[in-house]
Chain A
Amino acid sequence: MGTIGEAVRRRRGGLRAGAAGRILDFALIAIIAIFLILLGTKVVAQGGSFFLQILTFAVANGGIYALIALGYTMVYGIIELINFAHGDVFAFGAFLSASLLPIFGLREGGTFTAGSVIALLAVFGLTMLSCGILNISIERIAYRPLRHAPRLAPLITAVGVSFFLEGVLFLWKGPSNVHYANIIPNAGFEIFGATIGAKDLLVIGVSIVLVIGLALFVDRTRLGKAMRATAQDRDAALLMGIDIDRTIAATFFIGAILAGAGGTMYGLYYNTSVFDLGFSAGLVAFTAAVFGGIGNIYGAAIGGLVIGMIQSFWDGYFDSAWTQVVIFTILILVLIFRPTGLLGMRVPEK
């Protein structure tokens, strides 16, 4: 039984050691290097201002994905459930805010005044709150009763809720792309031939503020500490007098308000949405969460940024028909070869 000896060696050094692991590492590095070199030649060929323009898109895009990824990572961190519906909560945010804009007097082509800023804030606030309530309801109705059921059961309901939400959006607006009012003024400034618009600044700014806000919240507040304690050891948290149900609900709520903000910004930025937006965006954002080490909020933020940037750069410099294929291939490769995240910020204990 020579297999034992082999197994022993593999096990001792971890999955990654050994010749196979090194070849794999080498292959990964080679692929990344080839991509960067190709990208580099294209960047040089197409000039600096185009690069700067793409970079602006990329960072904004990454900011939105970071906001979605945070919700996945927080929920997975606390109850180890892939909340498939999270992407659809994001899409719901985009749809809802689109309908709220005219109610608050924000119309395409209208002048953007100081009053508009307040109206926009109200739209953000309402959308985020609604998404939060929606996600709490989902948790309460579909996940909580199954918390002690076999693992497969909540996973299937999560897929079901996701499909249900897509069904609602489909019923609401139908199968085709839905226009989202372009209300942000096209003002901006030029820098080295690239235009950085108000939209870019809005998305990047809001994303940074929300991520920092969340980090402070989780770090400093009582509820944030309860969330971290519950994520680490639910039984111990219970013994410490933490209300587990409330903490989990709060996690869903916070994840969803970030997704709501993300949805609103997606609409404002791209001026379009579609009923199954949450499916593809959710999958990309989940990739980002795994990329950054699932359960780790800083990891998710950085992962979202990185994946968003890869997506935009591929769109900008290569054939955009292959963008999703590239992103999902990264997803599979990361899950298979670096399940603890490429950034290796947190190794799950279990």
Chain B
Amino acid sequence: MTVEVIPPILRVDHVTKRFGGLVAVDDVTFDVKKGEIFALIGPNGAGKTTLFNGITGIFPPTTGRVIFQDREITGAKPHQVATLGIARTFQNIRLFEYMSALDNVRLGQHCRMHAKLWDSLFKTPVERAEERRVSDRAIELLQFVGIERYTHTYARNLPYGSQRRLEIARALATNPALLLLDEPAAGFTPQEKVELMGLVHKIVDNGVTVFLIEHDMKVVMGVSRRIVVLDHGEKIAEGTPEQVRNDQRVIEAYLGKQH
């Protein structure tokens, strides 16, 4: 391993996740470094989403540790993980369908708001000011991902691509240090994929580390400097796109599966 000066923001340390007899993630270890775009790839069923669920506390790992900014978060609850600064999107888009795009993004700021029950009950100046701030920020974020024209539309009525973007805006609203994107380009046209990669770069430029899952090798190769490959729950390769592309096990995992 080369010695890196950049400290890791997230360390996945010998994480294993079992469901009954099934080992979905098997003793996986890697670091995500601050400020990079890091990718996790692998064929279907490799355990990628399971690993995300393990990191974000939805299904805590069976064994192993998850360390975020030098603090162990293994088994912390999802809302605690989000508050600490890890936000995520979902593979199968889980927006609040009957809330407007604006409300979705405002909800994302929930854990950064300070109004107490008292403030909410009596609409105190503190609460009003905070609501204004939150709304302004929400509009900014909708503009940032490029869907401000849907501000007052129910999330379920947004076009598919805009729903994915809204999910990213909602995740960014939690003000994360690390953003987990679960197949953000799934179902996109090549043109949309290019636009999305532009957005990802914009997010990183704003100081957020991005850790994404992608199914499509080509997309990943274009954005990430470092990649980890999972197959059947095991880490089979880690390195730069070139290293991964030429790795025999990776080729087998992909070709063996798909051809």
List residues of chain A with CB under 8 Å of any chain B CB: 1, 3-4, 7-8, 11-12
Contacts and interface: CB of A to CB of B under 8 A. Distances in A.
A14 to B, nearest CB: 10
Contacts of A8: 72-76
B74 A12 contact: yes
A12 B75 contact: yes
Main secondary structure of the interface of A (DSSP, over half): helix
Interface residues of B, number: 10
A11 to B, nearest CB: 4
Interface string B188-215: 0000000000000000000000000000
7 pairs of A and B residues whose beta carbons are closest in the complex: A11-B75, A8-B75, A12-B75, A4-B76, A4-B80, A7-B76, A8-B76
Contacts of B76: 4, 7-8, 11
A301 to B, nearest CB: 26
13 contacts: A1-B84, A4-B73, A4-B76, A4-B80, A4-B84, A7-B77, A8-B72, A8-B74, A8-B76, A11-B60, A11-B76, A11-B77, A12-B75
B71 interface: yes
Contacts of A11: 60, 75-77
Contacts of B74: 8, 12
Contacts of A7: 75-77, 80
A3 B73 CA distance: 11
Main secondary structure of the interface of B (DSSP, over half): loop
A58 B73 CA distance: 51
A12 B60 contact: yes
A146 to B, nearest CB: 17
A12 B75 CA distance: 6
B62 to A, nearest CB: 10
Contacts of B77: 7, 11
Nearest to A9: B75
Interface centre among B73, B74, B75 (most CB of A within 10 A): B75
A3 B83 CA distance: 12
B75 A3 contact: no
Interface string B63-87: 0000000011111110010001000
Nearest to B72: A8
A17 to B, nearest CB: 12
Nearest to B71: A4
B229 to A, nearest CB: 29
A150 B89 CA distance: 23
Interface string B210-250: 00000000000000000000000000000000000000000
B101 to A, nearest CB: 21
Given A7-B75, A8-B73, 5 more contacts: A4-B71, A4-B80, A8-B74, A11-B60, A12-B60
Contacts of A4: 71, 73, 76, 80, 84
A3 B72 CA distance: 12
A8 B60 CA distance: 10
